[in-house]
Amino acid sequence: MTTANAIVLIVEDEPEIAELIEFHAERAGMRPRIIHSGKLALELIRREKPDVIVLDLMLPDLDGLAVCRKLKQSEETRSIPILMVTAKGEESDIVAGIELGADDYVTKPFSPRVLMARISNVLRRTNAANEPSPTTDRMILLGGKLVIDLDRHTVTVDGVKAELTLTEFGILHYLAGRPGFVRTRDQIISSVHGKNTVLSSRTVDVHVTALRRKLDTLADCVETVRGVGYRFTDSSQSDDV
């Protein structure tokens, strides 16, 4: 599915904002649909799966976090990328959404141009993750406790699959590709989202927080280098040197 034909479900209870997103999505060649209710959105998504969901957190009946949780708990809808839109600036709300599986977020008021770029990036990364690969490419790290499978786009921690979002997978893969090397937040954004993407460096911190939680006992392998960025530490490799 290309951006030009993508079905974008806009779950937003404020008509003016929903219509603004719809207008710009149509200009970008996408096929937007608007739903003003979280409960109705869930019903529609289960019948007609969109390519991407733009989800407001503040909904009147069932809030966006609850909608996100239900979608990510279902095998049928788990793979649909979600971009959160919220008026809340509190980090806890953003982290909660990302931990539930949201792929990205914007806060109100937002630039329509930035929102469209975020939607395009999410769709591009989803398409890349779904493309078949002719060869097997696996990264086995931390003495076999962490396995990153690029073909299947999966990560296992102590043999248990970790449900990472596209962004979390991209960050982990980028850092793990060069253990011990420090990566700045700008480098991580460029690697995962593309060089022309406009994102705040704080976005990386939020995704890393969620990534660490999902890595569970291996969370310490993603280290913070204060004032610079992050690095991946593979203790099993350092022991062999």
Work out how many domains the chain is built from and give that number: 2
Q: What is the distance of C-alpha 229 from the center of its chain?
A: 19
Is residue 155 located within the same domain as residue 94?
Answer: no
Quick one: pLDDT band at residue 221, thresholds 50, 70, 90? very high
Is residue 79 located within the same domain as residue 30?
Answer: yes
Instruction: Kindly report, residue by residue over 63-89, the tens digit of the pLDDT.
Output: 999 999 999 888 889 889 999 988 766
Domain housing 189: 138-240
Is residue 55 located within the same domain as residue 33?
Answer: yes
Is residue 164 located within the same domain as residue 213?
Answer: yes
Is residue 16 located within the same domain as residue 122?
Answer: yes
Percent of the chain with pLDDT over 70: 86
Distance between CA atoms of residues 183 and 171, nearest Å: 10
Distance between CA atoms of residues 139 and 202, nearest Å: 27
pTM score > 0.75 for this model? Answer: no
Is residue 73 located within the same domain as residue 20?
Answer: yes
Last residue of a domain, one of 106, 130, 154: 130
Instruction: Kindly report, residue by residue over 31-50, the tens digit of the pLDDT.
Output: 999 999 999 999 999 998 99
The CATH number of the domain holding residue 178 is 1.10.10.10
* Closest to 140 in 3D by CA, of 122, 126, 127, 159: 159
